[in-house]
């Protein structure tokens, strides 16, 4: 092949020194950058923990965060069923430097939207999905496997205060988050509750925030503040409630009796009784009640344990037990009512009491004197609507004389039939007497008598007619006779009407004519 | 196998043409075989001097082949391969919503987009972001290895492969482009915000480095090992 002509010659430049190309810096830099990223990733790796939950609802591996005070401190990397298939085990990769948070009493729980009566929480999770909240514990020993809480602890460790244990037989409308009031100020919340192991009652845990927790002393009374407290008095209705919220969702209130306010604050987890209402809470506890048996010969329907025992309207005790007894020998059935008498508990005070006096002796003298003056126990109806009964001691001057045998066990106090019972008895006897009246026979007799009377009157009229013939029509005798005859006729008609009426309504003999018949 | 067979068939066709006394100047002759240098900038052919020279027309440094082409290409390819690992392992996009921030790697994005309706987009991301960069790296490695071993097979295919890689190069930035665009547009604080992640940097590095590798590779090297006997004949 012929060579192309006119090719210019290249210029000559000095040869450069040959050394490894600088371009190799590029992969070295790339490798260094990659290595640096890898190292920082490894160093940035926090501890991995596992949390057991009952359900993985709302949780998502790779997305669900663990948060503390709104800061993401970890990410859920995997969720699997637990080995016993009863729950789930979530694996969480924590952020670096969180080791010190992961101690034995650190708590985890899933925050989902929760709407309870007391509050609506976790609304943010409607958008963000559930997340796991962490509450850092105070223990020293680190831990990597945790058991998640099913319900969020309402009390965080960073909120100062104290929790108390309340014993109640009825949970009422209490729930986690139910407010605790002190002088109508919300100072805490119910943290949780559980049934006692023997099932006999409930233990409610309430948390009272600082500084209000120092108002709880060993003498403090707690009571259900749920709903309305309606009391009726001579001045009208009075409605008491802690707050509008407590009407809707219930609550617990506490107060310390003024006389005992000087006590030191109660310790953490001190146990208290949770009373049904404020009145019950402030009632002094029974100290030395006088147990008395009352035997009534009437139905005790409507009398329940806890019903008041009053003396002239003042409560002096309460019914403890209502039962029935059968005497095996006589087969007599009695319904004894056991009551506890303790006036002091309900505010009855003794005046001129010397410290040396024996209260038992005073009490015996008092009751001996009362019984001697005719004081007897009686069942009375407290409410006509509900038929609830209560025991009243009152003076019955006509009562048969009685006395108390202080050595008997149980102690028996004399009773009188109830007021209503007496009324019922007399009414029944009246009705029985009325029933026994031979009204039908009376009516028949009267009807017969009237028929005879009618006949007598007719014959009398005949006699008068014939007499009239004897008397001239214009003579005064005749006029008088006519008038008399008219009167007689009217009387006869009235008697007939009466006879008819009585035949239809024989009871009119007793009650008189009713208006309708007229 | 088939390719080799095809090459052989072509070879025999040329031989037949030669035997018939047809035009032989169409046979490829490399300038380097004539001892000429072509200017990379202006294409001027020139005869080199005793030492390295410059283009008499434009002053570009002249060499028979691109300066240290294979070495430089290797360096860029290796760097790209190194960056390819963190590009796929690190999140390229951090989506911050009310749910918290969720970092997504390229593969997670592909999985996230995969749905009965969204699969085309998912496929595009998969091809553009994962398959093409790796294919580019593998193609360049293949070209480098074959050139270094002086392979003569499939020269035409290899050049076509190189052209394809070169063509794709400028488009494979599309992922970086989309990502940064999204990050710029989706700033609905505090509802939602998208931020580029560290993986994006490596991903961009992969794209840039493969482009540089393609740039530094001299496709003429593919033909350098072509059998000289055919050229001599022609
Ligand atoms: Zn030139």
Q: Quote the pLDDT of residue A278.
A: 76
**Which residues in chain A are closer than 8 Å to B205, comparing Cβ atoms?**
30, 33
Q: How confident is the model at residue B166 (pLDDT cuts 50, 70, 90)?
A: confident
Give contacts of A 7-46 with B, CB under 8 A.
7-16, 21, 23-24, 26-27, 29-31, 33-34, 37-38
Per-residue model confidence as pLDDT tens for chain A (518 residues): 555 567 777 776 666 666 777 788 888 998 998 899 888 888 877 888 898 988 888 888 877 888 887 788 888 888 889 888 888 999 988 888 888 888 888 888 887 766 655 556 655 555 667 788 888 888 888 888 888 888 766 566 667 788 888 888 887 777 777 788 888 888 888 877 888 888 888 888 888 888 888 888 888 888 887 666 665 544 555 666 666 666 666 788 888 877 666 778 888 888 888 888 777 777 766 667 788 888 887 777 778 777 888 888 788 888 888 888 888 888 888 788 888 887 666 666 777 767 777 777 887 888 888 888 888 888 887 666 666 778 888 888 877 888 788 887 778 888 887 766 667 777 888 888 888 877 788 888 888 888 888 888 888 888 878 776 766 666 677 778 788 889 989 999 998 888 888 888 888 777 777 665 44
* ipTM score above 0.90: no
Q: How far apart are CA A372 and CA A397, in angstroms?
A: 10
pLDDT at residue A163, rounded to an integer? 83
Closest chain B C-alpha to A15 CA, distance in angstroms: 7
Alpha-carbon distance of A279 to A264, in angstroms, equals: 24
Cα–Cα distance between A174 and B46 in angstroms, integer?
99
Using a 10 angstrom Cβ sphere, with 0-12 exposed, 13-18 middle and 19 or more buried, the burial of residue B10 is exposed
Note the pLDDT of residue B24: 44
Cα(B221) to ligand 1 centroid in Å equals: 20
Give CA–CA dist B161/A145, Å, rounded.
Answer: 55
With a cut of 50, say whether residue B22 has pLDDT above it: no
pLDDT of residue B141: 92
User: With bands split at pLDDT 50, 70 and 90, how would you rate the model's confidence at B175?
Assistant: low
List the structure tokens of B34.
């004539």
Residue burial B212-231, b: 16+ Cβ < 10 Å; e: rest: bbbebbbbbbbbbbbeeeeb
Please indicate whether residue A18 or residue B1 has the higher confidence score (pLDDT). Answer: A18
Distance CA A123, CA A31 (A): 47
- Separation in Å, CA of A90 to nearest CA in chain B: 18
Burial class (CB in 10 A: 0-12, 13-18, 19+), B129: buried
**Is A422 in contact with A297 (CB distance < 8 Å)?**
no
pLDDT at B86: 87
Instruction: Tell me what pLDDT residue B229 has.
Output: 42
| Alpha helix segments (H runs only) across A265-306 | 278-282
3 state SS of A122:
coil
What is the C-alpha separation between B140 and B157, in angstroms, rounded?
A: 13
* Token output for A361: 């002796």
Question: First-to-last CA distance in chain B?
Answer: 28
| Helix, strand or coil, per DSSP, at residue A133 | strand
DSSP structure class, residue B73? H
| Residue in B closest to A11 by C-alpha | B53
* Model pLDDT, residue A13: 67
> Looking at CA atoms only, how far is residue B56 from chain A in angstroms?
6
Residue A16 pLDDT: 60
Place of tokens 């802690």: A242
CB nearest to B49's CB, from A12, A16, A26: A12
Of residues A125 and B105, which shows the higher confidence score?
Answer: B105
Nearest to B62 among A10, A38, A124 (CB): A10
Specify the length of chain B in residues: 234
Q: Which position has the higher pLDDT, B146 or B227?
A: B146
Rounded Cα distance between A32 and A376, Å, is 105
The answer on pLDDT for B23 being more than 60 is no
Rounded Cα gap, residues A231 and A240, in angstroms: 8
Q: Are the beta carbons of A27 and B86 separated by less than 8 Å?
A: no
| Chain A to chain B Cβ contacts (< 8 Å) | 108
Q: Which residue has the higher pLDDT, A138 or B30?
A: A138
């Amino acid at each position: 092949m012929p060579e192309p002509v006119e090719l210019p010659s290249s210029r000559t430049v000095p040869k450069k020194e040959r050394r490894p190309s600088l371009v190799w810096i590029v992969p070295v830099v790339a490798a260094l950058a990659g290595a640096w990223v890898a190292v920082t990733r490894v160093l940035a790796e926090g501890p991995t923990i596992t949390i057991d939950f009952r359900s993985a609802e709302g949780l998502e591996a790779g997305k669900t965060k663990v948060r503390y005070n709104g800061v993401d401190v970890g990410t859920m990397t995997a969720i699997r069923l637990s080995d016993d298939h009863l729950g789930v085990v979530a694996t969480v990769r924590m952020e670096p430097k969180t080791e010190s948070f992961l101690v034995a009493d650190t708590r985890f729980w899933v925050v989902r939207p929760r709407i309870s009566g007391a509050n609506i929480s976790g609304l943010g999770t409607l958008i963000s999905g559930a997340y796991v909240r962490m509450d850092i514990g105070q223990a020293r020993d680190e831990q990597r496997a945790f058991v998640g809480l099913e319900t969020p602890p309402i009390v965080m460790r960073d909120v100062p205060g104290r929790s108390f244990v309340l014993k109640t037989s009825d949970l009422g409308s209490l729930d986690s988050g139910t407010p605790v009031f002190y002088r109508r100020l919300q100072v805490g919340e119910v943290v949780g509750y559980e049934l006692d192991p023997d099932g006999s009652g409930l233990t409610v845990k309430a948390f009272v925030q600082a500084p209000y927790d120092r108002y709880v002393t060993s003498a403090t009374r707690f009571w259900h503040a749920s709903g309305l407290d309606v009391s009726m008095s001579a001045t009208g209705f009075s409605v008491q409630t802690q707050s509008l919220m407590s009407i809707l969702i219930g609550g617990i209130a506490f107060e310390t009796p003024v006389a005992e306010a000087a006590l030191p604050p109660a310790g953490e987890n001190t146990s208290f009784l949770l009373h049904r209402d404020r009145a019950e809470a402030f009632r002094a506890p029974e100290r030395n009640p006088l147990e008395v048996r009352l035997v009534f010969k009437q139905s005790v329907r409507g009398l329940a344990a806890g019903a008041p025992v009053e003396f002239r309207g003042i409560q002096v005790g309460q019914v403890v037990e209502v039962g029935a007894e059968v005497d095996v020998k006589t087969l007599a059935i009695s319904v004894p009512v056991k009551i506890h008498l303790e006036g002091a508990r309900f505010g009855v005070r003794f005046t001129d009491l010397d410290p040396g006096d024996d209260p038992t002796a005073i009490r015996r003298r008092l009751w001996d004197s009362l019984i001697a003056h005719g004081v007897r126990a009686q069942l009375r109806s407290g409410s006509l609507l509900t038929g609830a009964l209560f025991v009243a001691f009152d003076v019955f001057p006509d009562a048969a004389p009685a006395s108390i045998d202080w050595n008997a066990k149980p102690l028996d106090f004399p009773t009188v039939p109830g007021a209503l019972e007496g009324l019922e008895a007399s009414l029944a006897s009246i009705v029985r007497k009325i029933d026994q009246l031979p009204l039908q026979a009376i009516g028949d007799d009267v009807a017969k008598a009237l028929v005879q009377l009618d006949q007598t009157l007719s014959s009398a009229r005949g006699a008068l007619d014939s007499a009239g013939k004897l008397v001239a029509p214009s003579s005064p005798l005749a006029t008088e006779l006519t008038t008399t005859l008219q009167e007689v006729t009217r009387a006869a008609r009235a008697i007939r009407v009466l006879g008819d009426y009585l035949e239809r309504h024989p009871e009119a003999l007793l009650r008189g004519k009713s208006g309708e018949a007229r | 196998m088939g390719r080799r067979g095809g090459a052989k068939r072509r070879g025999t066709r040329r031989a037949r043409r030669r035997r018939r006394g047809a035009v032989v100047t169409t046979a490829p002759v490399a300038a380097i075989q004539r001892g000429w240098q072509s200017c990379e900038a202006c294409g001027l052919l020139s005869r080199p001097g005793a030492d390295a020279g410059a283009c008499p027309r434009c002053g570009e440094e002249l060499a028979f082949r691109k300066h240290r082409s294979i070495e430089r290409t290797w360096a860029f390819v290796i760097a790209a391969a190194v960056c390819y690992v963190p590009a796929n392992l690190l999140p390229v996009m951090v989506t911050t919503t009310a749910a918290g921030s969720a970092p997504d790697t390229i593969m997670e994005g592909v999985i996230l987009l995969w749905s009965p309706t969204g699969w085309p987009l998912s496929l595009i991301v998969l091809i553009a972001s994962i398959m093409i960069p790796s294919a580019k790296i593998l193609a360049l490695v293949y070209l480098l290895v074959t050139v270094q071993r002086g392979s003569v097979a499939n020269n035409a295919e290899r050049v076509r492969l190189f052209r394809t890689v070169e063509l794709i190069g400028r488009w494979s930035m599309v992922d970086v482009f989309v990502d940064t665009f999204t990050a710029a547009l989706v700033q609905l604080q505090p509802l939602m915000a998208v931020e580029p992640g560290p993986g994006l940097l490596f991903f961009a590095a992969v794209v840039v480095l493969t482009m540089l590798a393609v740039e530094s590779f001299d496709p003429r090297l593919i033909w350098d090992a072509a059998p000289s006997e055919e050229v001599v004949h022609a």
